[in-house]
Amino acid sequence: MLELFEALLYSTLDAAPALVFAAVGATFSERSGVVNVGVEGMMRAGAFAAAVAALVMPTPLGVLCGMVAGTGVAAIHAVLCIRGRADQVVSGIALNLVMLALGTFLLEALFTPSGSTSIAQLSRWTLPGFDKVPLLRALHNHSALTYLAMVLPFVAHAAVYRTPWGLRLRAVGEKPAAVAVMGVSVAQLRYTGVLISGALAGLGGAVLSTATLDRFEHHMPSGLGFMAVAAMIFGRWTPLGAAGAAAFFAFGNALRIGLTSSLPEISHYLPQGVLLALPYVLTLVVLAWQGKGASSAPAALGVPYNSERR
């Protein structure tokens, strides 16, 4: 039993970072008032760029390239939404479509249709002493990004809730006009929010192609970006909540994989598809249960700021 739990914990910790980074990132964008359904596309860009860059440079630098790529996609989103006052959902969806097709196209042009050439995976850290203790062993032998994913949500939470900048970021998502009156640039704060979101989504994508696997595969990130958005909503637009929800989703997934491999009989009672659908159904149920009043979405979410109209 303990061993099973340990194995579950281990695979959760291995799979969660991608989702955690993307979900925490999404809170920055949405807190500033810009809807980000383009996380999927940003993750794809990050995963691709990291895997390609790591072919010619050390893998950690490749991960940085992934972040830059994610930021680049986010920059397009930011310019369209903030300067262009475009419909934020449309822009996000369009970016997803473009990145999906572009990723496939570049993959075909540069590598084979199914995946890119293998790279050196990120090295896994060995924590002295941890490999002897049961349960704690699960914390052992992960890539640095897993440990970063454990720390980052707290840092992000502190940044959003304990710094003047965080206060402004939240304010700009609630009532941008008030922030503008204070003499603070609405656009600048929103750009920062969206770009942070892109960098973290890119990092999340890079996790997939440099830590979880050792190459970019054609279907990456296969819906994880949408999951990240769901986790962010589930976590009520707070970094810690988003990270918690992301970890929960990852655990659910690990549980599903663990159950079906260790107890194959279970598929007679609970079909694979039901287990797969569970996190989504759960999200819906929670959202429906929270109802209208309890929604903690930023008030100005999705509304472009127009300084000529108050």
Partner 1 sequence: MLAVSLSLLLCFGAVALTRGSFITAVKAFAAMTAGAFGDWPRFFEKGAWSAVLGPWGETGNKAALLTLTGLSVAVAFRVGLFNIGAQGQLMMGAITAAVLGAKLELPGPLHLVICLLGAALAGAAYAALAAYLKLARGVHEVISTIMLNWVAVSVVENWWVTGPLRASASGDNSISGTDQIHPSAELPLLLGAASRLNLGFALALLLAFALYLWLTGATRGFEWKVVGLSAAAAETSGIAVKRRVFEAFALAGAFAGMAGAVLILGTEHKYPPALATPYGFDGIAMALLGQGNPLGVFATALFFGGLRAGGTRLQLFGVHKSFPELIQGLALLLVAAPWAWARLLNRSWRRA
Q: Which residues bind partner 1 (CB under 8 A)?
A: 37, 76, 79-80, 83-87, 89-91, 93-102, 104-105, 108-109, 113, 223, 226, 229-230, 233, 271-274, 276-277, 280-281, 283-284, 287-289, 291-292, 295, 297
Nearest residue to 150 via CA among 47, 27, 25, 240: 240
Q: What distance in Å separates the CA atoms of residue 88 and residue 81, rounded to the nearest whole number?
A: 6
Q: What distance in Å separates the CA atoms of residue 139 and residue 118, rounded to the nearest whole number?
A: 26
Tokens of residue 105, six digits = 């196209």
Q: Report in angstroms how near the CB of residue 261 gets to partner 1 at its nearest.
A: 16
Q: Report in angstroms how near the CB of residue 111 gets to partner 1 at its nearest.
A: 12
Q: Report in angstroms how near the CB of residue 223 gets to partner 1 at its nearest.
A: 7
Cβ neighbours around 183 below 10 Å, total: 6
Nearest residue to 189 via CA among 23, 21, 30, 38: 30
Whose Cβ is closer to partner 1: residue 195's or residue 228's?
228
Whose Cβ is closer to partner 1: residue 25's or residue 279's?
279
Q: Report in angstroms how near the CB of residue 81 gets to partner 1 at its nearest.
A: 9
Buried b (16+ CB within 10 A) or exposed e, 278-307: bbeebbeeeeeeeeeeeeeebebbeebbee
Whose Cβ is closer to partner 1: residue 112's or residue 123's?
112
Whose Cβ is closer to partner 1: residue 110's or residue 158's?
110
Whose Cβ is closer to partner 1: residue 92's or residue 166's?
92
